[in-house]
């Protein structure tokens, strides 16, 4: 049995300079864990409720003093009075403190900060175990280094002067180790920078570290990335694959039931948007499309999966929001074949794990993910390895808030030594 000594939180800043919640959990044996909560810009309307103060006199209304107070008072008072057989028992008790469907009473940011910090503390209490190892043992699966999805060119809500598509990513899956995969991604990133500079584009980066040039079309971005892959000496389609995060909910007009691709100068329905994707798949080695349609366009998603789902992974982010009920619905309808896992969308470790396990049981691929507003917290790296997620999406190899996750994965790979297993191309074995 393990007793919790104290749970304390404070208001800190994320990578966009917005307040977020930091938390430290200390157990009676002195084991300690600290975690910081991220925040998204392109957020799904079905996500758990991120509690902010709406006090315009502080941080333009984005302060989180109430969420911090909820940790220090409600959660700390309630959960330091009992002993727990495991972290998972503690997490269940934590989730149970908020009796709303979306955690709007205490706040998902308050609850998640405690959940992440407590997991680290319980891992340390268990023989000073690193979190990835603690999770792997509990998951009864060997740890596995994920394939990185590197966001190297930004648009949409992450860089408003660039493309309609929010993220253009490379997936260096055709390698034998995580470090070789990452190296290839880094080299392509820097080569893309050189190409953009030679063409006179600005070299500013978006929220996730990808470059944000002002381009004439979305396809131009794909062409530039293909040039960077070739010039770096890698093979597109075998060693390096492409991925898109369309964030189509941001392009959708509910009144007209249509999608605006401003850079293309067109407005299309879901059927025609899928046809555009099909055209890109015929020209480029795209293996993954995330949020290709609006978060509630279920009929469109069914058509998308029917037309493209046997060839590429169709990742539900805003569609699923790491919510097991929406995963059930999507699977029953045949709406997608992959899930993006964001702990702050659902608000706890336990619920994130349940969504991952359900997705895997449905033979879906799973992608552990950051948010656009991040901190130096690198917990998702441990989650990706310990839960054998297969893929991790954590931005460009730039900005300390992104690089922290990559460096943590390199550290874990080194700790595993000869026992390190890299997912590689087998993660896409479902697709032909």
CATH classification of the domain holding 322: 3.20.20.120
pLDDT band at 367; cut points 50, 70, 90: very high
In a domain, 134, yes or no: no
Taking CA atoms, 50 is separated from 44, 180, 346, 388, 415, in Å, by 12, 37, 10, 27, 35
Bridge partners for 163 per DSSP: 155
Per the document, the length of the chain is: 432
- Same domain for 305 and 420? yes
For residue 233, what are its two tokens? 């000496």
Instruction: Pick the closest to residue 143 from 129, 158, 157, 132 (CA basis).
Output: 132
Mean pLDDT of the chain: 95
pLDDT for 198 beyond 90: yes
pLDDT of res. 155: 86
In three-state secondary structure terms, 294 is: coil
* Per-residue pLDDT at 313 exceeds 90: yes
Q: Is residue 133 part of a domain?
A: no
The verdict on residue 11 lying in a domain is yes
The answer to the question of residue 309 being in a domain is yes
CA–CA separation, 370 and 372 (whole Å): 7
Compute the average pLDDT of residues 349-353: 97
192: nearest Cα among 164, 152, 142: 152
**Rounded percentage of the chain residues whose pLDDT exceeds 90:** 91
Q: Work out the average pLDDT over 202-231.
A: 94
Integer Cα distance of 107 and 100 in angstroms = 10
> Does the pLDDT of residue 349 top 60, yes or no?
yes
Q: How far apart are CA 158 and CA 250, in angstroms?
A: 11
**Would you say residue 158 has pLDDT above 60?**
no
| Tally of domains in the chain | 2
Give Cα separations from 38 to 10, 299, 356 (angstroms): 14, 31, 19
Structural domain ending residue among the three candidates 78, 98, 128: 128
CB atoms within 10 A of CB 389: 26
- Tokens 């839960």 sit at which residue? 387
My answer on whether 105 and 169 are in the same domain is no
Last residue in a domain, options 72, 93, 128:
128
Q: Are 405 and 290 in contact (CB under 8 A)?
A: no
Task: Return the structure tokens found at 46.
Answer: 């079905």
pLDDT band at residue 159 using 50, 70 and 90 as cut-offs: low
Q: Are residue 101 and residue 146 in the same domain, yes or no? A: no
For residues 153 and 25, state if they share a domain: no
Does residue 320 contact residue 293 with C-beta atoms inside 8 Å?
A: no
State how far the Cα of 167 lies from the Cα of 153, in Å rounded to an integer: 6
pLDDT at position 257 is 94
Q: What is the pLDDT of residue 122?
A: 97
Tens digits of per-residue pLDDT, 379-420? 999 999 999 999 999 999 999 999 999 999 999 999 999 999
Q: Are 78 and 211 part of one and the same domain?
A: no
Residues 153 and 258 in one domain: yes
Share of the chain above pLDDT 70, in %: 98
Q: What letter does residue 431 receive in the DSSP assignment? A: -
**Boundary of a domain, candidates 67, 99, 128:** 128
- Between CA 225 and CA 204 the distance in angstroms is 16
Domain of 95: which CATH number? 3.30.390.10
Q: What mean pLDDT do residues 260-278 have? A: 94
Verify that 95 and 146 share a domain, yes or no.
no
- Quote the longest CA-to-CA distance of the chain: 63
Average pLDDT over residues 48-58: 95
Domain ranges, residue 156: 139-428
> Among 370, 373, 412, 369, which Cα is nearest to 389's?
369
Copy the structure tokens of residue 363: 């033979």
Instruction: Please tell me whether residues 198 and 324 are part of one structural domain.
Output: yes
* CA 105 to mean position of chain CA atoms: 25
Please check whether residue 356 lies inside any domain of the structure.
yes
Per-residue confidence (pLDDT) for residue 184, from 0 to 100: 98
Q: Yes or no: say if 99 and 35 are a contact pair by the CB < 8 Å rule.
A: no
For 227, the enclosing helix (H) or strand (E) is: helix 218-231
Phi, psi of 236 (to 5 degrees): -70, 135
pLDDT of residue 160: 59
Q: What is the DSSP string of 135-167?
A: HHHHHTS---BPEEEEEEEEBGGG-TTSBSSSE
- Residue 267 sits in the same domain as residue 155: yes
pLDDT of residue 278: 98
Catalytic residue numbers read 208, 342
Q: Are residues 119 and 170 in the same domain?
A: no
* Distance from C-alpha of 243 to C-alpha of 222, rounded to nearest angstrom: 10
Asked whether residue 93 is domain-assigned, the answer is yes
Contact, 414 vs 178, CB < 8 A?
A: no
Weakest-pLDDT range from 154-168, 173-187, 270-284: 154-168
Contact of 407 with 381, CB cutoff 8 Å: no
Quickly state the pLDDT bin for 263 (edges 50, 70, 90): confident
Residue 426, Cβ neighbours under 10 Å: how many? 11
Q: Are residues 122 and 181 in the same domain?
A: no
pLDDT tens digits for range 141-150: 899 999 999 9
pTM of the model: 0.96
The pLDDT value given to residue 207: 87
Kindly state whether residues 212 and 115 are assigned to the same domain.
no
- Residue 432 pLDDT class (50, 70, 90 cuts): low
Question: Which pLDDT score, from 0 to 100, does residue 17 have?
Answer: 96
Give the pLDDT of residue 138. 82
């Amino acid at each position: 049995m393990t007793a919790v000594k104290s749970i304390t939180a404070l208001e800190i800043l994320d990578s966009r300079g917005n307040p977020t919640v930091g938390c430290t959990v200390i157990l009676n044996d002195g084991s300690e864990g600290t975690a910081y909560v991220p925040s998204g810009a392109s957020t799904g309307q079905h996500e758990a409720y991120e509690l902010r103060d709406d006090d315009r006199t502080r941080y333009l209304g984005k302060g989180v003093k109430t969420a911090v107070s909820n940790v220090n008072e409600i959660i700390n008072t309630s959960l330091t009075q009992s002993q727990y057989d495991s972290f998972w028992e503690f997490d269940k008790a934590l989730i149970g403190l908020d009796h709303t469907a979306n955690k709007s009473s205490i706040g998902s940011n308050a609850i998640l900060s405690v959940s992440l910090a407590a997991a680290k503390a319980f891992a340390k209490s268990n023989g000073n175990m690193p979190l990835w190892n603690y999770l792997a043992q509990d998951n009864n699966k060997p740890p596995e280094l994920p394939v990185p999805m590197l966001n190297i060119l930004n648009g949409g809500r992450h860089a408003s002067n660039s493309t309609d598509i929010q993220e253009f990513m490379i997936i260096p899956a055709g390698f034998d180790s995580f470090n070789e995969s990452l190296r290839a991604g880094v080299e392509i990133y820097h080569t893309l920078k050189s190409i953009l500079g030679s063409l006179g584009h600005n070299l500013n980066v978006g929220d996730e570290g990808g470059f944000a040039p002002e381009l004439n079309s979305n396809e131009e971005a794909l062409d530039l990335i293909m040039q960077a892959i070739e010039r770096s000496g890698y093979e597109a389609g075998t060693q390096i694959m492409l991925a898109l995060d369309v964030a189509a909910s941001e392009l959708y007009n509910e009144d007209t039931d249509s999608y605006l691709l401003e850079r293309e100068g067109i407005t299309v329905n879901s059927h025609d948007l899928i046809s555009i994707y099909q055209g890109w798949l015929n020209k480029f080695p795209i293996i993954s499309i995330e949020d290709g349609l609006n978060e509630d366009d279920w009929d469109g998603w069914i058509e998308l999966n029917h037309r493209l789902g046997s060839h590429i992974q169709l990742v539900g982010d805003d569609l699923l929001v790491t919510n097991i009920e929406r995963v059930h619905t999507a699977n029953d309808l045949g709406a997608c074949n992959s899930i993006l896992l964001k702990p702050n969308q659902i608000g706890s470790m336990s619920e994130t794990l349940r969504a991952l396990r359900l997705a895997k049981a449905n033979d879906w691929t799973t992608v552990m993910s950051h948010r656009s507003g991040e901190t130096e917290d690198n917990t998702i790296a441990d989650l990706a390895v310990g839960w054998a997620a297969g893929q991790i999406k954590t931005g460009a190899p730039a900005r300390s808030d992104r690089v922290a996750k990559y460096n943590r994965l390199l550290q874990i790979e080194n700790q595993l030594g000869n026992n390190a297993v890299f997912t590689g191309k087998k993660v896409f074995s479902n697709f032909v």
